[in-house]
Amino acid sequence: MRKPALVALLVTVMLSLVASAFAGEITKDELKKALNEHPEVILDFLRAHPIEVYEAAESGIKMKERAEKQDRREAELAKPLMPVMDPSRILVGQPGAPISVFVYSDFFCPFCARGAKTMDALEAAHPGQVQLIFKHMPGHEFSRLAALYFEAILLQDQEKAKNFHDLVFASQAKLARNGEKGLKKVAAEVHADMARLNADLESPELAARLDADNKEATTFGFQGTPSFIVNGVSVEGAQPLSEFEEIIRQTSKR
C-alpha cells in the first residue's frame, strides 16, 4: 500500500476510534473541524494508541485486499484472461486439456518451488486433465539463465524439461552457490543434448520468449512470483491447492 493511502487509512481509523469514544457527545463534522484547527492532535493520538491503530489499520487493509481480490475474480470469471498459448511450450499434459494453467515463475524464488509442488498435486488430483505452460518472471540474471536452460531443453523434449524444472526447484540453494556449472550438471543429469543446448542458449528467439513472458505478466498486473492463470482466472502467490480447486469448480460452470 502506498504511503499516502496508508496515512489516509490511519487517519480514518483514528477518527473512527475517537468518534466511538465520544459517541453521542460530538459529531464527526465537529471532530474534523477540531482536527483541522489542531492537526498535532492526530500525531498525539497515534503515539498514545499505537496498538489499537495498528490493529484497526491491519484489519482494514485485509478487508480491502479481500474485496479487491473478489472484484478481480468476478471480472475474470466473466471475461477470462487470455495468455499467449504456444502448444510447443506445454510442460505437462496435452493441448486442449480442460484445465489450463499458466505459471509465471522464477527458478530461484522459494515460493515458486512451493508453487511447483502444488502444481504437481493439482496434476495428480486431475490425471490427464491438466495442461501446464511454464512462463518466466526472472528476478535476476541467474534466474534468467536458468530459464534459458529450461527453454532450450524444452525444445528437445518435454519430459527432460520437466525433470530439469523439478531438479532445479529441489536444489535452489546449492545451484545458487555453484552457478552455471550447476545448471550444466543438471542438464546433463536429465540427458539433454549438451551440444544442441549450448547452441540454443544463444538463440535470440529464446531470449525474446523470456522477454515476452515478463511483459505479458506485467500486462496482467502481476507484481511477483509465482503467479498463475487457471482457466483464465489469476492467482497470485504460493496459494494452497484448495484455491486452485475452487477456481476449477467455478470455471467448470461456464
Shared-domain flag, residues 35 and 112: no
CA 99, CA 232: separation in Å to the nearest integer? 10
Last residue within a domain, chosen from 48, 78, 108: 78
Q: What's the whole-number mean pLDDT along residues 91-99?
A: 95
Residue at which a domain ends, from 78, 113, 141: 78
The reply to whether 123 and 69 lie within a common domain is no
| 218/175 same-domain check | yes
DSSP 124-139: HHSTT-EEEEEEE--S
- Range in 45-59, 68-82, 162-176, 208-222 with the lowest mean pLDDT: 45-59
Same domain for 178 and 225? Answer: yes
CATH number, position 101: 3.40.30.10
For 148-160, what is the mean pLDDT? 98
Mean pLDDT of the region 38-50: 74
Q: Quote the pLDDT of residue 26.
A: 61
pLDDT band at residue 49 under the 50/70/90 scheme: confident
pLDDT score of 238 more than 90 = yes
Tell which wins on pLDDT, 31 or 196: 196
Shared domain for 109 and 68, answered yes or no, is: no
Residue 108 shares a structural domain with residue 210: yes
Predicted confidence at residue 7, as pLDDT, reads 53
**What is the percent of the chain where pLDDT is above 90?**
70
Same domain for 127 and 12 = no
- In the numeric block, which cell numbers belong to residue 172? 535452489
Average pLDDT, the chain: 88
Containing structural domain, residue 10: 3-78
Shared domain for 17 and 122, answered yes or no, is no
The last residue of one of the domains, among 36, 51, 78, is 78
Is 110 found in the same domain as 36? no
Is residue 33 classed exposed, middle or buried when 0-12, 13-18 and 19+ CB atoms within 10 A define those classes? exposed
Q: Does residue 220 contact residue 81 with C-beta atoms inside 8 Å?
A: yes
Cα 17 from Cα 233, distance rounded (Å): 38
Is the same domain home to 101 and 219?
Answer: yes
pLDDT for residue 1: 45
Into how many domains does the chain fold?
2
In whole angstroms, give the CA distance from residue 233 to residue 219.
Answer: 14
Whether residue 174 is predicted with pLDDT greater than 90 in this model: the reply is yes
Alpha helix stretches (DSSP H) within 136-203 = 141-156, 158-170, 172-178, 180-189, 194-200
pLDDT for 156 equals: 98
Which of 53-67, 144-158, 170-184, 202-216 is predicted with the least confidence, judged by mean pLDDT? 53-67
Q: What pLDDT does 43 receive?
A: 72
- Whole-structure pTM value: 0.76
| pLDDT for 66 | 72
C-alpha cell of residue 20? 466511538
In a shared domain, residues 108 and 68: no
User: Does 58 have pLDDT greater than 80?
Assistant: no
Instruction: Tell whether 20 and 108 lie within a shared domain.
Output: no
For 92, phi then psi, to 5°, come to -130, 135
Q: What is the mean predicted confidence (pLDDT) over 202-230?
A: 97
Measured between alpha carbons, how far is residue 246 from residues 209, 214, 251, 252 in Å? 31, 27, 9, 10
197/184 Cα distance (integer angstroms): 10
